[in-house]
Structure 1
Amino acid sequence: MRDGVIMGYFPAFLKLDNKKILLIGGGHIAYEKLVHLLDFTNDVDIIAKEYSSEMMHKIETMRLGYAKRAYKKGDISDYAIVIVAIDDIPLQAEIFEESKNYKCLCNAVDSVDYCDFIFPSYIKQDDLTIAVSTSGASPAMAKHLRHYLQDLIPQSIGVFLQEMRSLRKSLPKGKERMKMLDEKAKKYIESWSN
């Protein structure tokens, strides 16, 4: 909060290459977080006392590292990001405080006081990713807006983005390239309403 105004979350897309992630929890919410993470990386380890059958199936299918035990202090020391998907609020707070010692980003599910970042509602279609957030005010609104936006995006977006990527690589940098690519993107989006 600054000058009485609640500050929102800064939108950023993190490159997860070479960034290990620890997910703490083995229930339904942990499973949902895992599914979202797997859209972007498979360098995820999990610690939980108990695992749902869907979580175990995903762990085995994706060959993820896991431990069936309670969280122990120091477990997060080698991770860049930790997701705490458990109902134990005091433990969420403890892990959040511990994360500061290791300079890793922490997200505690449904506890914004223990979050360095939040999971937005998002659309991932090939190279296109659109994130929607209400800064925690209404996750339901973010979800419904995501559904609305998803219905607007044509299935051909992946092919178009591959073509744009190839053009960016093959054409010399400069104003002419920028103008041509801008016009091509504009025409593609205008074609959606036809």
Structure 2
Amino acid sequence: MSSPKANHYFPAFVKLDNKKILLVGGGNIAYEKLVHLLDFSHDIEIIAPLICEKMLQLAKEQGINYQNRLYERGDIKECSLVVVAVDDISVQKEIYEESQDYKCLCNSVDSVEYCDFIFPAYIKEGDLTIAISTSGASPAFAKHFKTYLREKIPNNLGVFLSEMKELRLSIPKGIARMKMLDKKARDFIQKLR
């Protein structure tokens, strides 16, 4: 078994319920991060002196709080996650260092040295979420591989997963349930080949 590398990230799906997220920045990249975050949470606050029109519109539509001002020390005090989408490396560094004091996970766009986590390319289709990462080696490959995988997802997958969820909730736990659900999943995949 090889030892962990510095830029390898543990693939975990994090439940964001009751976790406040701060997004610092108001440009196109910040907008993209907001779109991704909204797939999983609405407890988001935006701080930026200027916010692009499409981001402002989305924030208003989704009821996201925003403040037109520069980041100030202490803004992340109550946050579990901060995303720094600004070009100024000194601001990225400052926020990252402060985030460590508050045990707040930090992502600084395009500066892996100031990241506790990265945004993978991902596919979200109902209950299915597939995340793809190259650990920063090639975000372009991850993006194109995501497109490739998305084309392979069958149209009836949502219905199948809803049925599986219903069965899982309605049948008592145990070996019989586990075997039955495993067989249904295996049969579904087999039909795709």
TM surpasses 0.5: yes
How far 1:153 sits from its partner (Å)?
0.4
Normalised to the residue count of structure 2, the TM-score between the two structures is: 0.96
How far 1:155 sits from its partner (Å)?
1.9
Runs of 5+ consecutive residues of structure 2 not aligned to the other structure: none
Task: Write out per-residue CA displacement over residues 66-107 of structure 1, whole angstroms, 9 at most, x where no aligned residue.
Answer: 100000011110110000000000110110000011111000
How far 1:50 sits from its partner (Å)?
0.3
Residues 83, 109 of structure 2: 8 Å contact kept: yes
Q: What residue number does 2:64 align with?
A: 64
Could you say what the CA RMSD is over the residues aligned between the two structures, in angstroms? Answer: 1.4
Moved over 2 A (4+): 2-7
Instruction: Say whether 1:79 aligns with 2:82.
Output: no
Normalised to the residue count of structure 1, the TM-score between the two structures is: 0.96
Residues 7, 136 of structure 2: 8 Å contact kept: no
Q: 1:39 to 1:3 in 2, by over 3 A?
A: closer
Task: Write out per-residue CA displacement over residues 89-139 of structure 1, whole angstroms, 9 at most, x where no aligned residue.
Answer: 011011000001111100000000000000000000000000000000000
Secondary structure of residue in 1 paired with 2:19? coil
The CA distance in 2 between the partners of 1:182 and 1:141, in whole Å, is: 32
How far 1:37 sits from its partner (Å)?
0.3
Q: Which amino acid aligns with 2:112?
A: V
The CA distance in 1 between the partners of 2:62 and 2:4, in whole Å, is: 46
The CA distance in 2 between the partners of 1:95 and 1:158, in whole Å, is: 40
How far 1:174 sits from its partner (Å)?
1.4
Q: Which amino acid aligns with 1:65?
A: N
Identity %, equivalent residues: 59
Q: 1:165 to 1:72 in 2, by over 3 A?
A: same
Aligned residues: 192
Runs of 5+ consecutive residues of structure 1 not aligned to the other structure: none
Q: What residue number does 1:190 align with?
A: 190
Q: Within 5 A, what are the aligned runs for 1:169-188? A: 169-188=169-188
Q: Within 5 A, what are the aligned runs for 1:139-158? A: 139-158=139-158
Q: 1:115 to 1:170 in 2, by over 3 A?
A: same
Structure 1 window deviating more from structure 2 (170-179 vs 83-92): it is: 170-179
How far 1:7 sits from its partner (Å)?
4.9
Task: Write out per-residue CA displacement over residues 11-57 of structure 1, whole angstroms, 9 at most, x where no aligned residue.
Answer: 00000000010000000000000000001111110000101110111
Q: Which amino acid aligns with 1:164?
A: M
